[in-house]
Structure 1
């Protein structure tokens, strides 16, 4: 799937593109059906909500789950980002975020690149998220909220929040959020929240400031996020474990467009369990050296 000139201009202006219902119900169902078994695993790659057994984030499913390994090579998710960056991509991060009914906690206001820069030493913002809804997203189950055009500010000041939720995040303070929202239109469009059926897709800039509220509705809001990085822009530090920030910078080669409906062969290097190397970091190496 390639982007039109109009879409390229819209992305440059707003920092995101929304494609409602891009994947069919059958394609989405094949992915959704695989999620409960993944969430039930007691593995390091399942981060659970603070004070709850509900999964907040599942990492690296493309390394051990066939349906998600195929999604990670899907041209509808890969090709638009190749158009924007003008080069091949590698998978920096792969997440299945589970904002579960009644239990899904808040994601504070942040930029993705803020974390990738501070934790992983990613050189520039030539990386972005592509998200696909596995459930319908509505007004009540914690939709993603964006501040349109906020990516134009580049990297903004952030602090490392280690306590609000179960997952540490580099977050943007309330005063700056207020200014960015007012700059984007205040109550007339300063915050947008794309909503739509399962199978909808969002592509958004790594510096676009975004957040989501808690989900106290009776409806799950599970979404998959491919964090795609230009190969030339690969991370320079391995402070985080490999299951969170990947170290294989091999360019992604797309499968055919019907890959969610047919059993194309895919490599699953972690199918038989998480290797010890996926848990190691450069901090461990420094401890050993000392």
Structure 2
């Protein structure tokens, strides 16, 4: 999938692109039906909400679930990122975020690159997220919120929040958020929340400041996030376990466009459970070879 010149200019200006209904109901259903079994697993890759059994994040499903292994190679998901970087990409992180009805907690204001830099020593911000909605997203079920254009401020100093939620984030202080929102238009467009049907897709810059509120509605809001990094920009430290920050820097090989509807063969190396090696960490920088 190639982006148009107008889409490239919009991405440069706003830091994100939104594609409503990008995947069909049948394609989306193939993914949605696989989620309950993944969320039921008692493995480290399921991070649950504080004081609740509801899953907040499921990591690395593309390594143990065939439908998500195919999504991880889908040209509609991966192609636009390769197009923007003009370089092959690898999977830095793969998440199925659950903002479950009545129980989905907040995600504080942050930049994804803040975590990738501070925890993983990713050299530059040549990485980004592309996400697909598995549920309809409305103003009621905790939509993702962006501050348009905030990616142009570059990397922002952040604090490591270890207490607010069950998953630690490098978060941005409220005073700076207020300034960024004012600069982006204040009450007139300083915060946007893309909403649309299941199957919609969002692509956004790793420095775009974003957050989401809690889900107090009776409607789930599940989305899949592929964090794709230019191969030459791979991480330099394994501080986080491999099921969170991946260590295979091989370029993603794309499948045909109908890969969610046909059983193309894919490798799922963790189908029998999380290997012990995926839990090992190190604070030592890795050796980079030419």
1:255 deviates by 0.2
**Aligned positions, number:** 285
Secondary structure of the 2:119 match is helix
Task: Name the counterpart of 1:77.
Answer: 77
Q: Map Cα deviations across residues 42-85 of structure 1 (whole Å, 9 max, x no partner).
A: 00000000010000000000000000000000000111001110
Task: Name the counterpart of 1:288.
Answer: none
Q: Map Cα deviations across residues 182-239 of structure 1 (whole Å, 9 max, x no partner).
A: 0000000000000000000000000000000000100000000000000000000000
Q: How does 1:204-283 map to 2 (within 5 A)?
A: 204-283=204-283
Q: Map Cα deviations across residues 99-150 of structure 1 (whole Å, 9 max, x no partner).
A: 0000000000000000000000000000000000000000000000000000
TM-score (ref. length: structure 1): 0.97
1:284 deviates by 9.7
Structure 2 distance, partners of 1:34, 1:255, is 20
1:283 deviates by 4.4
Which sections of structure 2, spanning at least 5 residues, go unmatched? 286-290
Task: Name the counterpart of 1:198.
Answer: 198
1:157 deviates by 1.2
Structure 2 distance, partners of 1:269, 1:182, is 47
Task: Name the counterpart of 1:90.
Answer: 90
Q: How does 1:154-173 map to 2 (within 5 A)?
A: 154-173=154-173
Structure 2 distance, partners of 1:192, 1:40, is 33
Kindly indicate whether residue 65 of structure 2 is the aligned counterpart of residue 65 of structure 1: yes
Structure 2 distance, partners of 1:73, 1:83, is 15
1:273 deviates by 1.2
Which sections of structure 1, spanning at least 5 residues, go unmatched? 286-290
Task: Name the counterpart of 2:150.
Answer: 150
Task: Name the counterpart of 1:25.
Answer: 25
- Structure 1: which 4+ aligned runs deviate by more than 4 Å? none
Task: Name the counterpart of 1:55.
Answer: 55
TM-score (ref. length: structure 2): 0.97
In the alignment, is the contact (CA less than 8 A) between 2:237 and 2:284 conserved in 1?
no
Secondary structure of the 1:93 match is strand
Task: Name the counterpart of 1:4.
Answer: 4
Structure 1 distance, partners of 2:2, 2:50, is 40
